[in-house]
Amino acid sequence: MRASAFLYPWDVNGDPAAPERTAALGVRAATLAAAYHSTRALTPRHPRHRVVTAEYAAVLYPPGGHWRERTPRPHPAGDWAPGDAYGEAAGALAAAGLEVHTWVVLAHNSRLGAEHPETSVVNAYGDRYPWAPCVAQPATRAYLVDLAAEAAVRPGARGTELESLGWYGFAHLHAHDKTAGVALGDAGQYLMSLCFCPACRTGYGARGLDADALAHAVRGALEPVWRGAPSGGGWPAVERLLGAGEAGATRAWRETTARTLQEEAVAAVRAAAPEGFRVLLHADPVSYHCGADAGTDPAHVLSVADGVVVPCTQGPDRLAPFARHARAGTVLAANLTVVSGLGGRPAALARDAARARSLGATELRLYHAGLASDADLEAVAAGLAAL
């Protein structure tokens, strides 16, 4: 199976050994961040540093001049990825024989929410989620679509992987998160992720819902959850808490919003890209889910993109809904965490990959070659050799 390793530019730049070390794992490609959210990351082997703090969501290359008069607009990175950090790293990886694809994070941006709070998701209590841009707002959608095209189609890139191209919601590892005191469950997460910004209020109204009444109903549905009652899992639990009609109308609004954004962003990337450029989405097959792996309808997303990257560290079962709609040439990439400290199982890579392949996976993604220890990387190399 063709495998690609995730990397940040700061894993490569300033470390002359990094490209060859990555290629020696047995991967054929690198999925290199071109636009990324704020993070704090270890660099266990870098000769100049051990911790990189990316202070805000940024593009890791010089943004185009067409952004100067626009609001919102992307920000270049600070000293953690100065200049054309992406281009420098991409050139070094390509020189080591690796095919380079861009990794673009979209609707996950705390700086955007801090500078332009009106762009954020607003929950039923009136709380804003500054890390989560509301993808229903026209200006935000235009920003995300144009960012996708620019960040994806970097010089020399053979394809892109678009992350968080859909709704982001309550669940997020924010700075010093203190949100695990109540187990929200699948249904509670959905209710806490419903947006009540002006654009979404209008969207609910177009589907026959009064936004104020809906917010009141959401708060009422969550009251037992705050007292410790389990919310339940799956869509039937959402319907039980909120009512089938109300739940269905909110889902219809959100799914239509996400689907059309995905269509627009992929079309913009294709218009900017050379022939043969692959466009993949990080995707969840449950359409109402939020997060980096955006909720999608498998049949729809595979009619739009060339394939999907599917989280499989907790098991490959989420591949099956996509496999049912795959066509010749469809990419189904199983994303496996190979960092032991992040819950990965690098020693079981060959077994996990074989299981994923049995459920339709055509490729592997390895998260994350820059974060992994030497022991983890040795296990990865052995697992890929066994395949």
Distance separating alpha carbons of residues 56 and 251, to the nearest angstrom: 31
pLDDT at res. 183: 85
Chain CA centroid to CA 79, Å: 24
- Give the model's pLDDT for residue 233: 87
Q: Model confidence at 178, in pLDDT bands (50, 70, 90)?
A: confident
For residue range 94-136, what is the model confidence (pLDDT) as tens digits? 999 999 999 999 999 999 999 999 999 999 999 999 999 999 9
Q: Which fold does the domain 2-179+257-386 belong to in CATH?
A: TIM Barrel (3.20.20)
**pLDDT given for residue 232 in this prediction:** 83
Residue (of 280, 302, 278, 282) closest to 290 by Cα position: 282
Element at 3 (helix H, strand E) = strand 2-7
Given this model, what pLDDT does residue 174 score? 66
The reported pTM is 0.97
Delimit the domains of the chain by residue range: 2-179+257-386
Average per-residue pLDDT in the chain?
96
Distance, in Å, from the CA atom of 240 to the CA atom of 41, rounded to the nearest integer, reads 41
Nearest residue to 284 (alpha-carbon basis) of 250, 251, 311: 311
Asked if pLDDT for residue 85 goes beyond 70, the answer is yes
Residue 41 identity:
A
- Confidence class for position 315, pLDDT limits 50, 70, 90: very high
